[in-house]
Chains A and B, each alone.
Chain A
Amino acid sequence: MNTFVEMSISKAINAGLAKAMRENDKVLVFGEDVAELGGVFRVTEGLLAEFGPKRIFNSPIAESGIIGTAIGLAMRGYSSVTEIQFDGFIFPAFNQITTQLAKIQNRSEGFLKMPVVIRVPYGGGIGAIEHHSESPEAYFAHTSGLRIITPSNPNDAYWMIQQAVASTDPVMFFEPKRRYWQKGPVNLETPPIDMHAARVLREGTNATVVCYGPMVTTALQAAEVAAEEGISLEVIDLRSISPIDFGAIVESVKKTGRLVVAQEASNFVSVGSEIAAKVHELAFYHLEAPVLRVGSFDVPYPPAKLEEQFLPDADRILDAVDRVLAY
Chain B
Amino acid sequence: MTSEDFKSASMVQMLSVEGDFSIPEQFAEYGAYIEKLTNEDFLKFYRDMATMRRFDGEATALQRQGQLGLWAPAVGQEAAQIGSGYGVGPNDHIFPSYREHGVAITHGIDLMSIIKIMRGVNHGGWNPDETRFHLYAIVLGTQTLHATGYAMGLNFDGKVGTGNKAEDLAVITYFGDGATAEGDVSEALLFAAINQTPQVFFCQNNQWAISSNVSRQTRVPLYLRGTGFGVPGVQVDGNDVLACYAVTAKHMDDARAGLGPTMIEAMTYRIGAHTTSDDPTKYRDNSEVESWKARDPLLRFEKFLRSRGVGQDFFDECDAIGDKISAEIREATFALASPPVENIFQHVYSQPHPTIVEQYAWLKDYEASYGEGEK
The answer, among B130, B187, B349, for a CB contact under 8 Å with A65, is B187
Which B residues are CB-close (under 8 A) to A24?
A: none
A147 to B352, CA, bound (A): 11
Least CB distance from A120 to B in Å reads 19
Contact across chains for B148 and A108 when beta carbons are under 8 A apart: no
Interface residues of A in 31-86 (CB under 8 A from B): 54, 59-60, 62, 64-65, 67-78
A-B pair count, CB < 8 Å, reads 142
Contact across chains for A75 and B145 when beta carbons are under 8 A apart: no
Which B residues are CB-close (under 8 A) to A111?
A: 125-130
Which B residues are CB-close (under 8 A) to A190?
A: none
Instruction: Flag whether B149 is at the interface (Cβ < 8 A).
Output: yes
Instruction: Flag whether A267 is at the interface (Cβ < 8 A).
Output: no
Instruction: Flag whether A132 is at the interface (Cβ < 8 A).
Output: no
A103 to B142, CA, bound (A): 13
Instruction: Determine the residue in chain A with the shortest Cβ distance to B95.
Output: A72
Which B residues are CB-close (under 8 A) to A309?
A: none
Contact across chains for A68 and B126 when beta carbons are under 8 A apart: no
B-binding segment of A94-102, A214-222, A250-258, A298-306: A94-102
A196 to B349, CA, bound (A): 14
A-binding segment of B51-59, B153-161, B253-261, B289-297: B153-161
Interface residues of B in 130-148 (CB under 8 A from A): 130, 134-135, 139, 142, 144-148
A68 to B147, CA, bound (A): 9
Given A54-B156, A113-B350, A147-B349, also A96-B184 (CB < 8 A) = yes
- B interface size (C-beta, 8 A): 44
A147 to B351, CA, bound (A): 11
A75 to B183, CA, bound (A): 22
Which B residues are CB-close (under 8 A) to A68?
A: 142, 144-146, 148-149, 184, 187-188
Contact across chains for A109 and B152 when beta carbons are under 8 A apart: no
A54 to B195, CA, bound (A): 11
Contact across chains for B350 and A76 when beta carbons are under 8 A apart: no
Given A65-B190, A72-B152, also A243-B125 (CB < 8 A) = no
Given A69-B148, A72-B153, A73-B153, also A62-B191 (CB < 8 A) = yes
Instruction: Flag whether B1 is at the interface (Cβ < 8 A).
Output: no
Which B residues are CB-close (under 8 A) to A73?
A: 149-150, 152-153
Contact across chains for A106 and B347 when beta carbons are under 8 A apart: yes
Contact across chains for B128 and A112 when beta carbons are under 8 A apart: yes
Q: How large is the interface on A (under 10, 10 to 19, 20 to 34, 35 or more residues)?
A: 35 or more
Contact across chains for A100 and B348 when beta carbons are under 8 A apart: no
Which B residues are CB-close (under 8 A) to A78?
A: 153, 156
A193 to B126, CA, bound (A): 36
Instruction: Flag whether B222 is at the interface (Cβ < 8 A).
Output: no
Instruction: Flag whether B194 is at the interface (Cβ < 8 A).
Output: yes
Which B residues are CB-close (under 8 A) to A147?
A: 349, 353
Instruction: Determine the residue in chain A with the shortest Cβ distance to B147.
Output: A72
Contact across chains for B146 and A145 when beta carbons are under 8 A apart: no
Which B residues are CB-close (under 8 A) to A187?
A: none
Which A residues are CB-close (under 8 A) to B127?
A: 108, 111
Contact across chains for B355 and A243 when beta carbons are under 8 A apart: yes
Which A residues are CB-close (under 8 A) to B128?
A: 75, 108, 111-112
What mask results when residues 151 to 171 of chain B are scored 1 for a CB within 8 Å of chain A, else 0? 111101100000000000000
Given A108-B128, A111-B129, also A70-B142 (CB < 8 A) = no
Contact across chains for A76 and B135 when beta carbons are under 8 A apart: no
A78 to B194, CA, bound (A): 19
Interface centre among A54, A72, A110 (most CB of B within 10 A): A72
Instruction: Flag whether B91 is at the interface (Cβ < 8 A).
Output: no
Given A72-B153, A100-B139, also A60-B346 (CB < 8 A) = no
Least CB distance from B360 to A in Å reads 13
Instruction: Flag whether A205 is at the interface (Cβ < 8 A).
Output: no
A99 to B142, CA, bound (A): 9
17 example contacts (A-B, Cβ-Cβ < 8 A) are as follows: A59-B191, A62-B191, A64-B145, A64-B187, A65-B191, A75-B134, A95-B184, A96-B145, A99-B139, A100-B139, A105-B348, A105-B349, A105-B350, A108-B135, A111-B125, A243-B353, A243-B355
Residues of chain B touching chain A, judged by Cβ–Cβ distance below 8 Å, are 93, 122-130, 134-135, 139, 142, 144-154, 156-157, 183-184, 187-188, 190-191, 194, 346-351, 353-356
With A76-B150, A78-B153 given, can you name 9 additional A-B contacts, CB distance below 8 Å?
A60-B191, A69-B152, A72-B148, A96-B142, A105-B348, A108-B125, A109-B124, A114-B350, A169-B351
The 7 closest A-B pairs by CB, nearest first: A72-B149, A68-B145, A76-B153, A69-B149, A65-B187, A72-B150, A110-B347
